[in-house]
Amino acid sequence: MTTYLHQDLRNDLDAARLAKLRKRNRLRVMVDDKAWPVLRLWRTGFSVEAGEVPALRGLVDVYDGAQHLYQCLIVASEEEAGEMRYEFKRNTAAQDKAPLDHIREADAPIALLPR
């Protein structure tokens, strides 16, 4: 049995796979004020469509719809089958409040009441 596929058939399969990934995913990557859809996200990186997105490098933000998920420092990894893959050098989860610089006691008062 042969595993050879004609180039036109391979291109059509890649285009269908990318269209499915684009439709299914709400994730996007933002640099400055520009956003591009993320095709796949995994623990150590993500991928975007190679022909549509310019070369990314440095600090980016990853969003799921309107929710800010991560602030990431990225580096380009490889391009394969129409996807450009990026690896995280640093991946920090975004938070909606500032971190505490001390341990909060479970029975600590929420506010002080005047006498």
Average pLDDT, the chain: 83
Inform me whether the pLDDT recorded for 24 exceeds 70.
no
Q: Looking at residue 23, what is its pLDDT?
A: 64
What's the fold here for domain 26-93? Answer: Thrombin, subunit H (2.40.10)
- Long-range contacts of the stretch 35-41 (C-beta < 8 A, 24+): 35/63, 38/62, 39/83, 40/83
Where in the chain are the domains? 26-93
Q: Looking at residue 67, what is its pLDDT?
A: 87
User: What does pTM read for this prediction?
Assistant: 0.66
